[in-house]
Structure 1
């Protein structure tokens, strides 16, 4: 009966302390309730009745009724909580991802592109209240998915990203400009681009700094991430006869100065991911930096449960009264 029950006035439970006191009082005073008669012999009286021994049940019924009344006074009730959240500050995010052949380098495991997709998928799951879009670029760029609140669409599009979907190269300016174009008409209070690359700008007809200035004009912050180890990495250098890549150790070349400049110009931040753990830490930090303000409303509905206890007390008192005036009438 008390499962999932709370009490509005639990202080009334202190009255339960009176019950043991009443029991002690009854134990010492019970013999005074019945008149005594001294006789020399009881051979002429029937002595098989058990009713005198059951008389304390009347007092027990009163105590149980009193305990039920105390529980009712404590006001047992169930609580139903409904929650509604309201996003007070939405964030639109576009992830611009380099898919050039160098993203198949194996300094991150199993390679840079697969490692990035895994971390990006976790990042998307942690942004349930924001809209997210995807842009991919190499020698050219295109929108993989526009900004949307449907995370299933974004996750499926992320899984489909592979090398070879666009001409090879690294058009950082195009990748950034395409992301800006996706966000320029957004009405969100905060607009963010996460630009990731592992090389230097060597393709495209838009300069990275020009794209960065466009981002500033539309109030878009850009976080830049350079991915790749320091030194040399096992990278694709040619094709084998069967069409697969041939790998060899190649020097890792990343234009960090350019990425730092883009981040500084747009009010973002620059990061360097040299292994899987650092890449995860970078996305965790961006996730913390770009927080969505959420207002939560809780509605409480209480259902009073004291009535059954009042009814129980009434039934116990009724049983005690009926028993007193019937079975035990001759003993009182």
Structure 2
């Protein structure tokens, strides 16, 4: 349907089913008995008033018309008519990015600092990561979380604000407490497999060693290279597995370095919140490209117009009844 050359659609078209509701109510609800039928002898003195009765009947028909107009306007407003207007394609970077975040139990460790206070690794990642995502306007970006299993927390989208909120709402335990780096990276690659952009990137952040899942990080890194996906890896935490001296929940920097090198990405070592912020800035400067995002249709709501008609009909009906 079109209006002045512009397509018209409806937010809730099912509301049109309410239009015949008064007719159904009149037909199904029991009528009041107005008395027995039969002939009625009308005295001559009343005949003179018949003209007035006809005027009253006409006035009643007018009130009925107003009531129907009020109902039709209300139903139309509820159906939500909208004009659909084409919008120009938005500028975009051409980058397709998936952030793969380790959400294992070790991310609860409190050994980072924010605003002068000691905080958990996850809190620091949320602060820096959400800011990183929000300033990626023009990129299509998504979020994968992994631990025992991997899950898509936010599908790749140009809505960077929504993806940032998904990161801020991430909680330990949603996907387990172990560290399945290979599965997390594999799911990120799956989300990028059919992406249209010329530059496909995974940013993989982990603070542990691969100890869960069905795949190894190196095998998935080889697949990433074959698919043309660069994987930038971030090793998070103060200690490395190579010099841990038996300490638990330390990061396997060598494995993450190997993933980045195999796929053609870069490896970053993060021990503090300042390091994390510097990495976000460095990755910001790494990727380039140009493209255009698909145009987003703009919709202009028209429901206030039938809503105004309903309001005026209600006022007119009220005045008509008072004047009766």
Asked if TM exceeds 0.5, the reply is: yes
Given candidates 273, 277, 287, the residue that maps to 1:276 is 273
Q: Deviations over 1:123-182 (max 9, x none)?
A: 112210001100000111111111001123212211210101012100010010010001
Identify the residue that residue 291 of structure 1 maps to in structure 2.
288
Equivalents in 2 of 1:269, 1:151: separation in Å? 23
Distance in 2 (alpha carbons) for counterparts of 1:262 and 1:285: 18
Residue 229 of structure 1, CA deviation? 0.9
Contact 2:97–2:202 under 8 Å retained in 1: yes
Q: Which residue of 2 aligns with 1:241?
A: none
SS of match in other structure, 1:108: strand
- Distance in 1 between the 2:289 and 2:217 partners? 28
Residues 252-275 of structure 1 show CA distances to partners (whole Å, capped at 9, x for unaligned) of: 522111111110111100001000
Q: Does structure 2 conserve the Cα–Cα contact (< 8 Å) formed by 1:231 and 1:252?
A: no
Q: Which residue of 2 aligns with 1:208?
A: 217
Q: Does 1:191 align with 2:188?
A: no
SS in 2 for 1:153: helix
For the structure 1 residues 92 and 250, does the alpha-carbon distance in structure 2 shift closer, same or farther, using more than 3 Å as the test?
A: same
Q: How does 1:1-332 map to 2 (within 5 A)?
A: 87=91, 89-109=93-113, 110-230=119-239, 253-293=250-290
Q: What is the count of residue pairs matched by the alignment?
A: 196
Q: CA offset at residue 250 of structure 1?
A: 5.1
Q: What's the TM-score, normalizing by structure 2?
A: 0.57
Q: Distance in 1 between matches of 2:227 and 2:276?
A: 28
Residue 9 (structure 2) aligns with: none
Task: Provide structure 1 residue ranges, at least 5 long, that are not aligned to the other structure.
Answer: 1-83, 233-248, 296-332
> How many angstroms apart in 2 are the aligned matches of 1:96 and 1:88?
22
In the aligned structure 2, how far is the partner of 1:279 from the partner of 1:195?
A: 13
Q: State the TM-score, normalizing by the size of structure 1.
A: 0.56
Secondary structure of the 2:111 match is coil
Secondary structure of the structure 1 residue equivalent to 2:97: strand
What is the rounded CA distance, in whole Å, between the counterparts of 1:130 and 1:292 in structure 2?
10
**Which 5+ residue runs of structure 2 have no aligned equivalent?**
1-87, 114-118, 293-324
Specify the structure having the higher radius of gyration (Cα): 1
